[in-house]
Amino acid sequence: MKNTIVVGAQWGDEGKGKLVDVLAEKSDLVVRFNGGGNAGHTVMHAGETYKFHYMPSGMLHKKTCILGTGVVINPKDLIAEIESFTATGHEPDLKISARAHVIFPHHQMIDAKGGGKIGTTGRGIGPTYSQKASRINLRILDIIADDAVARIKEALKDVREMLIADALFSADEFAAYCESVSSEYAEYGKNFKPFVTDTEDLVRVATIAGKSVLFEGAQGTLLDLNYGTYPFVTSSATLAAAAFVGGGAIPGVPIRILGITKAYTTRVGEGPFPTELDGDAAVNLREAGHEYGATTGRPRRVGHLDLYALRYAVRISGIQELAMTKIDTLAQVDNVKVCTAYKIDGKRIDYFPADAPTLEKVEPVYTDIEPIQALTKEEWIGLQGASKDQLPPSIKNYIKFIEDFVEIPITILSHGPERNETIVF
């Protein structure tokens, strides 16, 4: 099987973790290439629920799992995640890029102070990536070095004035912080040392040997720093292209790009959301889909499927096929509609607005969809191996409508959170 990139085609939480778990069975390596602990990827298998924030969702298949160079890592949180996974009887086979950047407590403090207007996850993601771009941050290779304590203290000099000016520390507090955080992080470095390697080279060697590499994106295309709904985005690239930069996917080697979309739309945090529902309709969909954030527990904003935004995501990310999740949830609500166009001042537009205030004021144009037939778990299981034509007409028609609009096929349909609640066409 050739290499595959899995990316979110909406604003995150599309079900990437579930699909990566499904696809990991036939993969040799699974690689995270962007984001950090802002991600919350849920895998449900054999009645157990696993929430991965760092570790790739291929872990349950005992595959070699990689945190690539594009990922930002809070060592304390990653160690806690490894320990809780190990406590459930699993043995993680994890490799960490020496070049991945490190999240420190002061990044989280800056995020906590300034992240409110975006509604960030508070995990220190933006400040870490911005100090990476400013070339003043430390990487995993620094905290595993023999002189890690000195390297950390030296790097902290670059942020001292800013942190004191922002009233996050007094001068005395900062001096104490330097002492404590440098020894704490050097200790994490000792823990990490056995896992750290040149992960891109592992991917290269595996690819050349004909092995199959699965790249797991975090967040979603509409949260991409360059092409998402800026400034209401995350601080990394989330497009499929990010797998080449942050994960070691090799340009020119054939690759399958699979986008994940829910059968409707959700968003966590602030920012424009043209098809957002409110009132009882929102409550019904949120409760039917248990739409609460896997990382922060915040209620997710919910809305109709926005095909206009989805088609933009497909085009900008180069998505070749889609997996659609949560069709079972959509079957539990009334008044299903999809958005097929945006209007501004009564006129249809033919572009996806780059400007957030413009996107705030677009008027979605809807097409009514026949109610999606609800099936029992047994009826769904009876459809394992079915072709699209063998699906109940309302589901078959919904898939066809979406495929015609976004101009790529839906090749996987997910009808529940468990691994086996999946139909591959």
Q: Is 13 in the site for Mg ion (CB under 5 A)?
A: yes
- Cα–Cα distances in angstroms (integers) from residue 311 to residues 6, 221, 257, 319, in the given order: 16, 11, 15, 10
Query: 328 contacts which partner out of ligand IMO, ligand GDP, Mg ion, none, CB within 5 to 8 A by kind?
Result: ligand GDP
Decide the pairing of beta strands 363-368 and 337-344.
antiparallel
Query: 85 contacts which partner out of ligand IMO, ligand GDP, Mg ion, none, CB within 5 to 8 A by kind?
Result: none
For residue 299, what are the β-bridge partners? 292
Q: Is 234 in the site for ligand IMO (CB under 6 A)?
A: yes
Q: Is 259 in the site for ligand IMO (CB under 6 A)?
A: no
Q: Is 229 in the site for ligand IMO (CB under 6 A)?
A: no
**Closer residue to ligand IMO in complex, CB, 134/170:** 134
Query: 417 contacts which partner out of Mg ion, ligand IMO, ligand GDP, none, CB within 5 to 8 A by kind?
Result: ligand GDP
Q: How many CB atoms lie within 10 A of CB 295?
A: 18
Round to whole Å and give the CA distance between 248 and 204: 7
Phi, psi of 416 (to 5 degrees): 175, 165
Q: What is the DSSP string of 125-157?
A: HHHHHHHHHTT---BHHHHTSTTHHHHHHHHHH
Q: Which residue is nearest to ligand IMO (CB)?
A: 269
Round to whole Å and give the CA distance between 138 and 298: 31
For residue 157, the minimal CB distance to ligand IMO (Å) is 26
For residue 375, the minimal CB distance to ligand GDP (Å) is 12
Binding flags for ligand IMO, 26-65, as an x/- string (CB under 6 A): ------------xxxx------------------------
Site residues for Mg ion, 23-82, by CB under 5 A, read 40
Binding flags for ligand IMO, 344-383, as an x/- string (CB under 6 A): ----------------------------------------
Which of 264, 280, 267 has the alpha carbon at shortest distance from 369? 264
**Closer residue to ligand IMO in complex, CB, 104/380:** 104
Place of tokens 């996987």: 412
Query: Which helix (H) or strand (E) is 377 found in, with range?
Result: helix 377-382
**Closer residue to ligand IMO in complex, CB, 214/395:** 214
20, 94, 125, 314: which one binds ligand IMO (CB under 6 A) = 125
Asked if 13 is an active-site residue, the reply is yes
For residue 271, the minimal CB distance to Mg ion (Å) is 16
Give the list of residues 6+ apart from residue 44 with CB closer than 8 angstroms, or none. Answer: 18, 50, 417, 418, 419
Tally the C-alpha atoms within 13 A of residue 68's C-alpha that lie toward its C-beta: 28
Single out the catalytic residue among 21, 28, 41, 61: 41
Round to whole Å and give the CA distance between 263 and 323: 10
**Measured in Å, how far apart are the chain's first and last C-alpha atoms?**
16
Tally the C-alpha atoms within 13 A of residue 315's C-alpha that lie toward its C-beta: 12
Site residues for ligand IMO, 183-212, by CB under 6 A, read none
Query: 246 contacts which partner out of ligand IMO, Mg ion, ligand GDP, none, CB within 5 to 8 A by kind?
Result: none
Stretch that binds ligand GDP, among 10-18, 119-127, 142-150, 343-351 (CB under 6 A): 10-18
294, 302, 309, 333: which one binds ligand GDP (CB under 6 A) = 294
Site residues for ligand GDP, 313-352, by CB under 6 A, read 325-326, 328-329
Place of tokens 């039917």: 288
Asked if 61 is an active-site residue, the reply is no
- Cα–Cα distances in angstroms (integers) from residue 383 to residues 195, 321, 378, 421, 422, in the given order: 42, 21, 9, 10, 10
Tally the C-alpha atoms within 13 A of residue 348's C-alpha that lie toward its C-beta: 7
Q: Is the peptide bond before 357 cis (omega within 30 degrees of 0)?
A: no
Place of tokens 């020119």: 252
223, 294, 319, 331: which one binds Mg ion (CB under 5 A) = 294
> How many residues of this chain interact with ligand GDP, rule: CB under 6 A?
21
Residues that bind ligand GDP (CB under 6 A): 8, 12-18, 40-42, 44, 294, 325-326, 328-329, 414-417
Which residues contact ligand IMO (rule: CB under 6 A)? 8, 11-13, 38-41, 118-121, 123, 125-126, 218-220, 223, 234-235, 268-269, 294
> Which are the catalytic amino acids?
13, 41
Site of interaction with Mg ion (CB under 5 A): 13, 40, 294
